[in-house]
Structure 1
Amino acid sequence: MSPLQSVFNGYKKVPAHILNLILAQFFVQGINTAFFLLLNYYMASEGFADYEVAEVLSYRFLAVFCLAFPIGLFIKGRRLKPFFYAATIATPVMSHVLLYAIGAGWEQVVNASAMLWGLAYTCMQITVLPFILLNARKEAHSEAISLSFLSFSGTICLIGLGNFLLTQIDPAFFTERRVLQGVSTLGLAGAYFVARIRVPERVSEKVPFRQVLHDYDWGTIFKALTPTLIIAIGAGFTIPVINLFFLNVHGMTSSQFSLVGSLTFLLVALIVAIMPYIRRSFGYKVAITLFQSASIFMLFALATTEYYANLPFALGIAIGAYVLRQPLMSAAAPMTSELTMYYVGPRNQEIMSALNASVWSGSWFISMKLFGWLRQMEFRYVSIFLITVAMYIVGVAWYAYLIKQYERSSENAEGNPPGQVSATPRKGGRRESVPAQGAGIGRGKP
């Protein structure tokens, strides 16, 4: 069987109810990616300075940071479909409120709606991965997780290219605001695909609140969470404001950045799609460590173009580095999620997903605050982005350590395949075997 056939056959194993969930996520993610591409440009056109844009973005991340962990505790042992409905309805509604408030100059409403937007999006962000692990067979996990991550890449391709084409047709009509409003309205279609998830949902066992400190393996969780925390803080200095870098350093317009983003995430989508095959063929060391290390080098090349931005070839190098950096880092993301979920074991997966969301948003909240402060102090983008480079190096080294620990524990787990046994001590030093993900975890609920 050829590698291409192996890739396609792997995706055939993903069940229909998971595909419907990913389609629902696609529409919510479409709003997220549209805001990633265009919101900063729209706010700049309304007179917001760099630090003011960072301030608004920080409120969105603050909401997720504060609420993801409580939601993660709450969803343990509960059906997740209602959270999918909440995300697919509330995210588009709050998007319209936020856009209107920005245009009207209602500062308090802008901040409040940004927080509510973040809360609505979180209802999808922290529930998709636990649902997949509980309601799909283990042999389909890698492909299902990759498809989930592909929703981000796919929507950036479509929205980036669509925005570029629309601005070529009528730039006066298809402004950033109108495109964002259109995508937000289309996002409501996600609720239709949630309604098509009609299988009896398998849920995990509930953990009473009074048992939270005892029934989770907090040492293992925090060990798995550490590289995410380090990389998330570093990424917060770069990812949310990368379009401002291209605007202010290289003079790139929103339509140009949308086109570059579209082509970049087309490459992301292609690489993410084959990552399950790469992981099975070469292991986590190649799928995670090698890809992320190459990405760090490209980020360094991107950031340092500010030193010679006046030269005619600087923009070309910046675009080339961005086009390569993004796929290399994004391709590893589904595999780091899979690795950490397997590392902590089935008992800890819901809370791990919630903490991941909380860490990313909390870190980005802190990073946005620091970014705004550094820009007010007239720090250059290159100086800020090099902080990200340094933190990425530490985070990737930690992932390499986790991979080594996970592979060693898998080899010692009495011959069981990865993910089958959790050798994590529980109360009284006792060790428990835990069934493989998606194979008898929890209990079915209609």
Structure 2
Amino acid sequence: MKRSLALVVLALSLSGTALAQDPEIPFDEFYLDNGLRVIVHEDRKAPIVAVTVWYHVGSKNEAPGKTGFAHLFEHLMFNGTENYNDEYFRPLQEVGATSTNGTTDFDRTNYFQTVPTSAVDLALWLESDRMGHLLGAVDQAKLDEQRGVVQNEKRQGDNAPYGKVFETIVTNLFPPGHPYSWEVIGSMEDLNAATLEDVKTWFETYYGPNNATLVLAGDIDVATAREKVERYFGDIPPGPPLTHKERFIPSSVPASRIVMQDRVPEARIYKVWLAPEWISDETTHLQLADLVLTSGKSSRLYQRLVYEDQIATDASAFLMSNEIAGAYIAYATVRDGQEMSAVEQALDEELARFLAEGPTSDELERARTEIRSAFIRGVEQVGGFNGKSQILAENAVYGGRPDFYKHSLEVLNGARREQVLAAARKWIDGEPLVIEV
């Protein structure tokens, strides 16, 4: 329920792109008459079921002046309904549920829990109850309480070292009005302005079953799942028809340099480029390039800046891949007594060397193996942040089908050095947005 989880969910979406022996996640899929999409994966290894709901709405569906509302609404979903006006977690804790949480990102809001098989009915009733019967329990006191909780999260994040950097990145990388040009957590001013009418509008617009994907993964078969889901969700009326935003990558990076003043233990420099959207094959190619540059102490950036030149204490990057656009963010932390200009020059030189040479065969295979290992770790569990229920939901929502990961595997397994180099040259060869802290 913190904004840093956005990066965790981002790592999942990228790690789900390759697998050593291309294992499948078998599933059945059906829709209720009200539009609810249901995906069922049967896994009898343990008497547990992961219950996951993805709503296809996030901060990109907000408007300027109403930022932060997707995340604020996520908090309200845990504070009781018309039929159960108490903390959502309480009955789940009593039956031994694990991994109970919710997160908000630019493009989606998800809610998940893993429960004993005997408690599937409880989890489905709780999820259906807040999908169908939330509004009557949300009053001004609850809104004010959760507004305060979210604003405290924002203060903690902003006051942490480098805590304002991400906000500076998105507000400068994306043009005004772009759906990614504000942080998921929003602004203090907009949070202060949120009203009960905003709550009602958001719920009625985006939290209908026709904008949701329900995944059940674990000790359950499709016939049992269908009967239970129909019983608990079938009478919830659909929301209005929705059109989802399409690919929107700005034509260029605003090549500017921003100097931020902050109380940080060491100075840091960031270089930021635009990147492809989640569904693009180039996202996989660019992730491979990123891992060659940044993964582990043997990576190119770490070896040059930290180990050889000893002018930085850290050097890394990450690929932010979202539904309609992305960003590639490289950074290096200046060692005490060293000059930022020297660190920036070394960072630029290593990036230029990669863009000139591309990855070696060994580097490319190591990167491929790293992604495969991450995916294997995910498919070994049914729930949590990275398990099979999340993989199926993510691929269904962003890729159009639960097994879109198969296409991503094909792209990864077939990725050649020339393709990785071409993607890197296309996306990170121009002038970046530069931020000094």
Larger Rg: 2
The structure in which a higher percent of residues are helix is 1
TM value normalised by structure 2: 0.27
The structure in which a higher percent of residues are strand is 2
